Amino acid sequence: MGPSHHLTGGKWAFLLLVLLLSSPAGWTQNWPAFRGADAAGVAPGPGPSTWNVERASNLRWKTAIPGLGHSSPVVWGDRVFVTTAVSSAPQAEVPIALDGLMESSTDLAKQSWRVYCLNKQTGRILWEKVLYEGVPRSRRHTRNSFATPTPATDGKHLVVLFGDAGLFGLDLDGKVLWRKDLGSLAAGFYADSQYEWGFGSSPVLYGGLVIVQADVDRNALLAAFDLVTGKRVWKTPRADLQSWSTPTVTHGLAPDELVTIAPRAVRGYDPRTGQELWHLDWDMDITESTPVWSGGVIYLSSGKGNRQPILALRPGARGNITPQPHKPRDPHILWFNERGGPITTTLLVHGEYLYALADQGILSCLSRATGEEVYKQRLPAEFLSSPVTAGGKLYFTAVDGDVYVVRSGPRFEQLAKNTLGEVSYSTPAISQGLLIFRTRHFLYGIAEAATARPAP
C-alpha cells in the first residue's frame, strides 16, 4: 500500500495523546471488562516474571470458586468480580486436549448461576449472590461452561450475562437492579443442529448502554439496554452464522463505532442506534476472537475456514469495504494478511508489535503498522485463554495451566514458564501489578515478592 495509507509519526503521537486523554478515568487500576479497556489486554505498571503457587512464591492469595465457569475476572478499585454456574449433578472435568470433538456436554441438571465479589488485596470473598436457578434451556460444548461471558462494570453498576439464564444489572454490593430474559440463546454447529455449544459473548458497556451480541441459532440479534433500568433501547437483527465473539466499541475518534466479528462478515455499527455503517465480507467458519481497539486502529482476526485472516482497519468506513480483485483496496483497510489468525484467542497489540497466538501454540509477532511478520515461534502447548501484557512482559496461559512469560519486543525471549497446577480456559486480569488467574477451581492473585503477601 502507498504512503497515504499510513499515519506519519507526528500524527500518530497526537492521535495517541488524544486517545489517552479520552480514556475513562481509573483504567490504570481497573480492569472493567473482558481483556480490560478496549479488549486490549494491556495494563500499565509492573508484572511478575516468576511464581510458584505450591510454595506460595509471589502468591498473594488463592481462593476457591465453586462450580464451572470460563468467564474472566474483572476489577474495580479493590474489588474483583467473577461468575460461575454450580451444577446440582457431579461436575464433569473439562478436557485438556483440543482434539476437535464436537460433542455437547450431557450436563443438563439444575444450575445455580452466581456472582462472587472478592477483596483484591486478600482474595477474601466479600459477598456472593445467586442470580438464577433452573435447568439450562440449551446444552453447552464439553469445553464450554454455562458461565463463560465475562461481566462488565463502570464502577457503579455490574452487568452479568448468563446466556439463557438472562442478563442482570447489579450494584457493586450485589443488589440486583434488573433482569432481562433474552430467551433461548442456543448456539452450535450451523450445519447440524444436534450440536449445541452454548453461549460465549460478553456484554459491553458504552455511554449508559449495555450492548449484547447474540449470534445464535435462531433470532440472532445485536441489542442495547439501558444500564440503569435494563430497558431495551435498540435491537438490530443479525443475518449471519453463529459466533461466540465479544464486540468492541471504538472511542476518541468521532464518530464511535461498534465493531462485531461473525463468520460471514466483520461489521461496524453506530453504538447509539444499532444502524450498520460498514461491512467487510470474509467467509469464515467459526468465530470466537474479539476486535481490539488500539492507537486509533481496529485489529481483527479469525482462524477457522478457508483462510486465517488478520487485518487492521481505520474507523470511519461506510458501505461495503470487502476487497475485490482488480480494484483498489478501500483506504480504511490499512493491511490484510490471509494467514496467521487465531480461532479463539484475541490479538494483543503492544508497542510497535502485534502478537497472534494460534490455539495450537504458534505465536506470530507482526508489525502493527504494516502486518509484516517479525518472528514466529512455537509454544509447546494449546491455548484458549487470550494473551495479556504488563511491565514489558507478555503472558500466555495454556489450557494445561502453564503460563509462558515472554518479553515484549521484536525478538522472541521466553523469560519463564510457571504452572498454575490445573486446567485454565479463562483470560487473566491485571491490576496494579497483580495478575489474577482463574483455573478450574481457584482464583489466584500473583504479584512480585516486594508487594506480595503470604497466601491466607
Say if CB 388 and CB 428 are below 8 A apart: yes
Tabulate helix, strand, coil % of the chain (nearest 5): 5, 40, 55
Higher per-residue confidence, 290 vs 217: 290
Q: How does pLDDT run across 179-215, given as a tens digit for each residue?
A: 999 988 777 666 566 677 777 899 999 999 999 999 8
CA-CA distance, 314 to 432, in Å (whole number)? 31
Average pLDDT, the chain: 88
> What confidence score (pLDDT) does residue 12 get?
41
**Burial of 331 from C-beta contacts in 10 A (0-12 / 13-18 / 19+):** middle
The pLDDT of 349-363, averaged and rounded, is 96
The pLDDT of 428-439, averaged and rounded, is 97
What pairing do the DSSP bridges indicate for beta strands 414-419 and 402-407?
antiparallel
Per-residue pLDDT band for 106 (boundaries 50, 70, 90) equals: confident
> What confidence score (pLDDT) does residue 239 get?
85
The pTM score is 0.90
The pLDDT of 41-55, averaged and rounded, is 94
Percent of the chain with pLDDT over 90: 72
CA angle, 227 then 43 then 443, to 5°: 75
CA-CA distance, 441 to 449, in Å (whole number)? 24
Same fold, 48-65+344-456 and 66-244: yes
Residue in 3, 120, 39 with CA at minimum distance from that of residue 293 = 39
> What confidence score (pLDDT) does residue 253 get?
82
CA-CA distance, 349 to 357, in Å (whole number)? 12
444 contacts: CB under 8 Å, gap ≥ 6: 53, 59, 61, 62, 420, 435, 436, 437, 438
Kindly list the domain boundaries of the chain, sorted by start residue: 48-65+344-456, 66-244, 251-338
CA-CA distance, 355 to 293, in Å (whole number)? 14
Q: How does pLDDT run across 388-407, given as a tens digit for each residue?
A: 999 999 999 999 999 999 99
**Residue 308 Cα distances to 163, 255, 355, angstroms:** 28, 29, 14
Span 66-244 CATH architecture: Beta Barrel (2.40)
Residue in 131, 121, 222 with CA at minimum distance from that of residue 451 = 121
Per-residue pLDDT band for 93 (boundaries 50, 70, 90) equals: low
Say if CB 112 and CB 85 are below 8 A apart: yes
> What confidence score (pLDDT) does residue 17 get?
40
**Burial of 409 from C-beta contacts in 10 A (0-12 / 13-18 / 19+):** middle
The pLDDT of 423-445, averaged and rounded, is 96
**Residue 194 Cα distances to 4, 141, 147, angstroms:** 50, 11, 21
Higher per-residue confidence, 64 vs 198: 64
CA-CA distance, 29 to 43, in Å (whole number)? 8
Q: How does pLDDT run across 262-283, given as a tens digit for each residue?
A: 999 999 999 999 999 999 999 8
CA-CA distance, 389 to 374, in Å (whole number)? 18
CA-CA distance, 35 to 48, in Å (whole number)? 18
Say if CB 187 and CB 198 are below 8 A apart: yes
Per-residue pLDDT band for 423 (boundaries 50, 70, 90) equals: very high
39 contacts: CB under 8 Å, gap ≥ 6: 33, 246, 248, 290, 291, 292, 293, 346
Q: Class for domain 48-65+344-456, per CATH?
A: mainly beta
Q: How does pLDDT run across 73-89, given as a tens digit for each residue?
A: 999 999 999 999 999 88
Per-residue pLDDT band for 450 (boundaries 50, 70, 90) equals: low
Residue recorded with cell 449472590: 129
> What confidence score (pLDDT) does residue 19 get?
42
The hierarchical CATH code for the domain 251-338 is 2.40.10.480
Per-residue pLDDT band for 449 (boundaries 50, 70, 90) equals: confident
Residue 103 has pLDDT above 90, yes or no: no
Percent of the chain with pLDDT over 70: 88
CA-CA distance, 102 to 90, in Å (whole number)? 22
